[in-house]
Amino acid sequence: MSNNILIVESKNDQFFLQAIIRYLNFKIEVAPPIIISEDDYRAMNGLNPTKLKNALKDLKADIQKGEIERVGIIIDIDDQLEIDRINFVNECIQEVFPESQSLEEVKQFININFDGFNIQLACYFTNFNGQGELETVLKMIKSQNSDYADCLETWKDCLSNHDKSITVKEFNKFWVSIYLRYDTCSKKEKKQAERKCSFESVMSEKAWIWDFEHPTLNDLKEFLQMFC
């Protein structure tokens, strides 16, 4: 049976997408269901062309075994323009699969051809209103009271008053970690915080602390449905 593979940037992207996919499989009738297991994520652990090229090269053997039908690349848009991100992905694809088509837009399959094999590939860039990364999205879709995490705004003002600064990306990561540890973990869970309040554990056991019906996720859901 052929699999659909997602190439992602990090383990956190993997855990987040697994949670959404479980949720969509529960709510949306799909035949056949999306086939994405833990081993079917190729985490790049940070974005650079070499890692993406290597992830694509690693797919070749599985493609030749007939184990892959469709590939999705999901990376953060960060502060880049969508066209620049598309060009980045295309450069990596062309080096690994020089006979293939080029991506022109997100959420659109192209054919990847080599040695008589053919698969489909599409990309999506994690964002909120055209910017940001996973943590930007998570901050928007939180479903629980977030007093502890929200009070970081005052802390950020304090930094500014002392001529210190923190990037938006760093702040959002910090916000998510505080939301997990202090806003959504029970006293009992905090006694085993490293395990019970970790991102992996929360996404596996307490995904309800995120609103998977939030409109921010609509584009991502459309992308994932392409792999049904």
pLDDT at residue number 9: 84
Q: What are phi and psi for residue 101, nearest 5 degrees?
A: -70, 170
d(CA 194, CA 65): 39
Q: Return the pLDDT at 44.
A: 56
Question: Are 57 and 105 in contact, with CB atoms under 8 Å apart?
Answer: no
Q: Which residues lie below 8 Å from residue 180, measured CB to CB, with a gap of 6+?
A: 197, 198, 199, 202, 209
Q: What is the pLDDT of residue 3?
A: 75
Q: What is the pLDDT of residue 129?
A: 93
d(CA 203, CA 179): 13
Question: Which parts of the chain sit beneath pLDDT 70?
Answer: 1-2, 26-47
Arithmetic mean of pLDDT over the chain: 86
Alpha helices by DSSP H, the chain: 11-27, 49-64, 82-96, 134-141, 147-150, 152-161, 168-178, 187-190, 193-196, 199-205, 218-225
The size of the chain, in residues, is: 228
Q: Which two tokens stand for residue 43?
A: 């985490």
Sole residue written with tokens 């994520």: 41
pTM for the predicted model, two decimal places = 0.87
Three-state helix/strand/coil letters over 38-80: HHHEEECCCCCHHHHHHHHHHHHHHHHCCCEEEEEEEEECECC
Rounded distance between C-alpha atoms, residue 6 and residue 52, angstroms:
12
Q: Which residues pair with 142 in a beta bridge?
A: 210
